[in-house]
Amino acid sequence: MVDDETQKEMVQALTEHTYTLRSYEIYTVLERATQTLKFGHEVAKAINLPSVMNDKKYEKQMKKEFEHRLRERHRIVHAHERPSLVSRITALAPEAFKVPEVQNYLIALIKMNSSMLRLLKQKHPEIKMPDASDKGFYRGYLARVDEEAKNMWELFKTYIEECVGMQQT
């Protein structure tokens, strides 16, 4: 049996993992769907079906509808170019944490962040941090993942049907 703390950590890791994977997959979906549309156009032409070369139109629409996901992917890939404060701290060697100057700096940083978070909470009490261990949060997250996948599929389906002359009327 897994204890509650371990289970909470596993759920958080899985949530973070699926988010990262989704960010990487968006370009794969875009690239493969575009290639499939080109292939569909060639096949339709070869067997004398009405066909529309719409891969560029699809790509433009996909980028428009999923711009936030594409930007996130770009941000993740280039994160090493401008590392965040957190990534810099976590990249420190364990021995560095024994140096008094580093310890003092981290303590000051924690105090500053705590103060800012307290102020933010006072000014905007309606803002709540999601709890990744909450099953409702996790179900909601997965529902959003499913909805996004469905929207990607519907967009592709529309364009492939147009590409090979099978539009629904």
For 77-93, the pLDDT digits (tens) are 666 666 677 677 777 77
pLDDT at 144: 83
Q: Give every CB contact of residue 49 below 8 A, 6+ residues apart in sequence.
A: 164, 165
**Cα–Cα distances in Å, from 19 out to 26, 35, 60?**
11, 25, 23
SS3 sequence, 70-139?
HHHHHHHHCHHHCCCHHHHHHCCCHHHHHCHHHHHHHHHHHHHHHHHHHHHHHHCCCCCCCCCCCHHHHH
**Cα–Cα distances in Å, from 16 out to 19, 23, 106, 143?**
5, 11, 25, 15
Q: Which of 19, 24, 16 is nearest to 74 (CA)?
A: 24
Q: Looking at residues 14-43, what average pLDDT do you find? A: 81
Give the tens place of pLDDT for each residue, 138-169: 777 778 888 888 998 999 999 999 998 877 65
Does position 48 have pLDDT exceeding 80, yes or no? Answer: yes
pLDDT at 159: 92
Return the SS3 of 52.
coil
Quickly state the pLDDT bin for 13 (edges 50, 70, 90).
low
* More confidently predicted of 105 and 73: 105
Q: Looking at residues 96-110, what average pLDDT do you find? A: 87
Percentage, residues of the chain above pLDDT 90:
21
Percentage, residues of the chain above pLDDT 70:
75
CA separation for the pair 68, 87 (Å, rounded): 22
- pTM of model > 0.75: no
